[in-house]
Amino acid sequence: MKAYWYDNLPGDQREAHDSGKEVTADELKKLGVYYHHITTLDDVDVLASDGGYKNRDEIIVSPATMGAMYEEKVRSFFHEHLHEDEEIRYIRDGRERFQRIDVVANCSGYGVIGACEDQDEHEIRDQFETNFMGTLNIIQASLPYFRQQNGGRYLIFSSTSGALGVPGLGPYCATKDTEIFI
């Protein structure tokens, strides 16, 4: 396995985009990313049992199995935004496993550097979708559990840029400002 920091340069996301700055297995573990090299189905069974996973899907991602939608699906996989259904599943699964949720931490966000007039509508909308709607989706998914158990805390990481504004990051600052007022 080789892990590295993504270089954020334009181009096909399936290419390496290796920044040259490696990430060690220990650094990944601190981030909550665990690497398992699994070579047999028995190893998968052990991992599933240890993790309490009851369901399993096998997905073959290839042009042969996905046909015309392959390119679009691969691109969308790498598109940087939160998926509401995924966040709901994480919160639900966490509650089922631990019987309650005490803290929800959210640090979603990214910014496109450049003047407002130089960013196209797609770039601006994507920032709002990730930074604001991603945060709102997490709150909407978890708040019913907090109400049901009569308590819980949010750690929503915004940015001082949202309150102060930074030249060249106008849309990003706007999205982070909206997080402050949720």
Picking from 55, 76, 79, the residue whose alpha carbon sits closest to that of residue 66 is 76
The tokens for 149 are 């158990």
Query: In sequence order, what are the residues at sequence separation of 6 or more whose Cβ sits closer than 8 angstroms to the Cβ of residue 175?
Result: 109, 127, 128, 130, 131, 132, 162
Residue 28 lies in a domain: no
Tokens of 33: 């990313």
The rounded distance, in Å, linking the Cα atoms of 51 and 47 is 6
**121 falls within a domain:** yes
Asked, for residue 11, whether it belongs to a domain, the answer is no
pLDDT value, residue 98: 73
Could you identify the residue written with the tokens 């989706």? 137
Q: Is residue 171 part of a domain?
A: yes
Q: Say if CB 9 and CB 43 are below 8 A apart.
A: no
Q: Give, for all 182 residues of the chain, the pLDDT tens digit.
A: 667 677 777 777 667 777 788 888 888 777 666 677 788 889 888 888 887 777 777 777 788 888 888 887 776 665 544 455 566 666 777 777 777 778 888 887 888 888 888 888 888 988 898 889 888 888 888 888 889 889 988 888 888 877 788 888 899 889 888 888 88
Rounded CA gap, 170 and 161, in Å? 9
Region of 32 (left: φ > 0; alpha: ψ -120 to 50; beta: rest) is: left
CB atoms within 10 A of CB 170: 19
> How many structural domains is the chain composed of?
1
At 54, list the tokens.
């009851």
Residue 150, pLDDT score: 92
pLDDT at 81: 41
Q: What is the pLDDT of residue 181?
A: 82
User: Residue 156 pairs with which residues in a beta bridge?
Assistant: 106
User: Is 122 inside any structural domain?
Assistant: yes
- Helices marked H in 24-133: 25-30, 41-51, 63-66, 70-78, 84-98, 121-128
Which pLDDT score is estimated for 77?
60
Structural domain includes residue 12 = no
Give the model's pLDDT for residue 71.
Answer: 80
What is the domain extent for residue 89?
81-182
181 inside domain = yes
